[in-house]
């Protein structure tokens, strides 16, 4: 059975285009028999700091009670990512880049020795064999344009961890051509292999 990790990051309570896309794609996978684990990153995700670094780089059986508490959030994100076959990321574009909560999630899961390692020939991702689908929405940032500072970074971060099968479904330029953009994104989502 395929296991999908769905991550939503929108701060909109209603009318989110990225959430409409992740809803549609999730439904497609569910109908194909996939198990879905959902996490709303906008509900709260901590930023990493020095205490976090000390906690996660201490072996689990040697952590203090405080370190175990600090590491628990990050370890939960990591376990969800490791268990998933497909990562479905709802990516609204805020000010030409990823929302802060998406950056924080990647900070939690990009962990040396767990999701990547350094070798004599450079970094090597440890999560190969997974697939990522990014449901991107934006008011005026076209996917892959000179002002799109999000999609390349997200593709790089997934690839850094070994996830090189990354596909974007984009409802971009919603401020200019909402109906056409949303229709094209829904059409692309409906053609995804589940």
| Distance between CA atoms of residues 44 and 62, nearest Å | 27
How far, rounded to the nearest angstrom, does the alpha carbon of residue 138 sit from its chain's CA centroid?
Answer: 16
**Burial class of residue 72, CB neighbours in 10 A (0-12, 13-18, 19+):** exposed
166 is in an annotated binding site: no
13 is in an annotated binding site: no
140 is in an annotated binding site: yes
68-to-63, 82, 105, 108 alpha-carbon distances in Å: 6, 19, 18, 15
Strand segments (E) across the chain = 3-8, 35-40, 86-92, 116-119, 122-125, 131-137, 165-171
113 is in an annotated binding site: no
Residues 6 or more apart whose CB falls under 8 angstroms from that of 115 comprise: 78, 81, 109, 125, 126, 127, 161, 162
74 is in an annotated binding site: no
| Distance between CA atoms of residues 142 and 163, nearest Å | 23
* Binding site feature residues: 16-18, 137-140
* Binding site feature residues for FMN: 16-18, 137-140
């Amino acid at each position: 059975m395929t296991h999908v990790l769905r991550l939503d990051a929108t701060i909109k309570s209603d009318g989110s285009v990225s959430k409409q896309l992740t809803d549609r794609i999730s439904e497609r996978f569910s109908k194909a028999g996939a198990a879905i684990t959902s996490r709303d990153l906008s509900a709260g995700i901590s930023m990493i700091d020095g205490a976090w670094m000390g906690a996660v780089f201490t072996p689990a059986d040697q952590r203090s009670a405080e370190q175990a508490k600090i590491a628990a959030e990050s370890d939960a994100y990591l376990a969800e990512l490791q268990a998933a076959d497909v990562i479905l990321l709802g990516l609204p574009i805020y000010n030409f880049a990823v929302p802060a909560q998406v950056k924080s999630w990647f900070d939690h899961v990009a962990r040396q020795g767990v999701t990547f390692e350094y070798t004599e020939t450079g970094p090597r991702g440890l999560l190969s064999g997974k697939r990522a689908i990014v449901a991107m929405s934006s008011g005026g940032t076209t996917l892959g344009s000179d002002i799109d500072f999000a999609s390349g970074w997200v593709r790089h971060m997934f690839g850094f961890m070994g996830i090189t099968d990354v596909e974007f479904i984009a409802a971009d330029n919603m401020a200019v051509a909402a109906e056409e953009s949303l229709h094209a994104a829904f059409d692309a989502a409906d053609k995804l292999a589940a």
